[in-house]
Amino acid sequence: MGHLQQMLFNEYTNENSELKCAICRKCLSVQPILHNSVYGNICGRWKCNSLGNSKGQNHEQQAYENVARYLIFPCMYRDNGCNAELKWSDVQLHEEACQFKKFFCPLSNNAFLKQGEKVCIWTGEISEFPNHVVESHSNRFFCESLVIDFQRNYTHEREIFFSKVLEDIILVIFHVNDSKSALFCKVWAGISILKIYNIK
């Protein structure tokens, strides 16, 4: 496998490589790997998979996947400075939490802004995000507990709050559905929190 492995890392710098996804131009390292009749070879990363399913016909590349299980892949954020060398089975989880991944503040989305608030244009690495939240969005940061006033007339359909566990940030999103008089809550936590507390 040595020659094939070396070829993979050499091909990573070749923009037209057949070992790269035709959509995101990253290594074919996240399953399922498909050959799409319109785009060509596509990886299983969410955006690529969704686009591939919207046009043309897809054919599974099981032979490639069987070989790929024995290879080591670079992280898709290698150009940002990540030097991780990953087994096929570890690529997706690593890339979701990679410290070199560029991250956009959720308050760059108008849906979470209150009247008079400006869109946040911050982007950075995930490891920098907790400090950004504390420094720039302290009005949405809670330390101990978050109290929701059910008597209050919520003027926004969505609210977002932040907290910190260890060094990771937690996002709490509330969605008010007036037609059903219902309040929905979603909680997002960093990968390290999920691992520490064994949450699935």
In sign, the C-alpha dihedral spanning 4, 5, 10, 11 is positive
What pLDDT is attached to residue 113?
Answer: 74
CA distances to 17, 24, 35, 166 from 53, in Å: 22, 15, 11, 39
Dump pLDDT digits (tens) for 17-52: 788 899 988 899 999 999 999 999 999 998 888 887
Say which amino acid occupies 104. F
In this structure, which topology does domain 2-97 adopt according to CATH?
Answer: Herpes Virus-1 (3.30.40)
What pLDDT is attached to residue 198?
Answer: 41
Residue 5 has pLDDT above 90, yes or no: no
Query: In the block, which residue shows the tokens 């959509």?
Result: 23
**Helices marked H in 2-90 — which ranges?**
2-11, 46-54, 62-68
Dump pLDDT digits (tens) for 44-93: 998 888 887 888 899 999 999 999 999 999 999 988 899 999 999 999 99
Burial of residue 92 (CB within 10 Å: 0-12, 13-18, 19+) is middle
What pLDDT is attached to residue 102?
Answer: 81
Strands (E), the chain: 34-36, 40-42, 58-60, 72-74, 85-87, 102-104, 123-125, 158-165, 168-177, 182-189
d(CA 107, CA 174): 14
DSSP-derived letter for residue 78 is: G
**What does the domain layout of the chain look like in residue ranges?**
2-97, 102-196
d(CA 116, CA 102): 27
In this structure, of 100-114, 125-139, 141-155, the range with the lowest mean pLDDT score is 141-155
